[in-house]
Amino acid sequence: MKKIISTIVLGFFAMCAFAQSDIDCRLTKSFINQNMKEWNVFIDELTTEFDKTKSADVQFKRAVVRHLYIAYLLFNDKSSKQIDIQLDALGKDVEELEKNETYSKTVLALKSPYYAYSALNNPLTAVYRLPMSFSAAKTAIDEAKDSPYSWAEYGNLQYCYALFIGGDFDDAVSSFQKAITLMEKKEKNLSCNWYYLNTLLFLAKSYEDGKKLDKANQVYDKILKIRPDYEAIHRWKH
């Protein structure tokens, strides 16, 4: 009987691992195909899984997916009603995960884009929301130095600051490199990690906008080694 129960338990965990890997790979496939307009479907799928399991891992994954989905909508479909819905839900995810011992510090990184997106969605709030975004990013670095999310989100802010306000991209490059190093140490299946690929992409764009085209191409080549099917990279290479 014990052997049967053990087999069932191992089978259950194997199915969970497969399901998790499956959605990661599908998210990444959608990401590299630049087909993100229906990421709410993935969010709904993760919500169904979270409602069943109440897993903080699933909730955090959903929050990160919401993060990029909101960014996509803000820059591609500003009139979408999903922006308000997902922003509100992201805020609630962050608030709940802050109470979770495992994710209380890691989730701080998502506060930064939450405040930034809120400012973009309602420019009247930008005067205080944008400073809150920078403050949240710095707090995440202080509280969770070993989290790749802290460095990646800090890098995103530094990149946007250099791009829209002026200055060099060296700080962004440094932050993205730290995030990438941490992910490469911690993650196994990087080919199905869209967040890792997105961080590599922003590292390449930081080099590119900083007029360091050779280094940008080296990063683009690295992405293609991981995902040869990322066809858009061929258009972006110099």
On whether the CB atoms of residues 149 and 143 are closer than 8 A, the answer is no
pLDDT value, residue 16: 41
Q: Tokens representing 20?
A: 């998790």
Q: Where are the domains positioned within the chain?
A: 38-138, 145-238
Rounded-to-integer distance, Cα 134 and Cα 113, Å:
9
Taken in order 70, 24, 17, 105, is the CA torsion positive or negative? negative
Mind listing the pLDDT tens digit for each residue in 142-190?
999 999 999 999 999 999 999 988 888 999 999 999 999 999 998 778 9
pTM comes to: 0.89
The arrangement of secondary structure in 145-238, i.e. its CATH architecture, is Alpha Horseshoe (1.25)
Kindly report the number of other CB atoms within 10 A of residue 207's CB atom.
Answer: 22
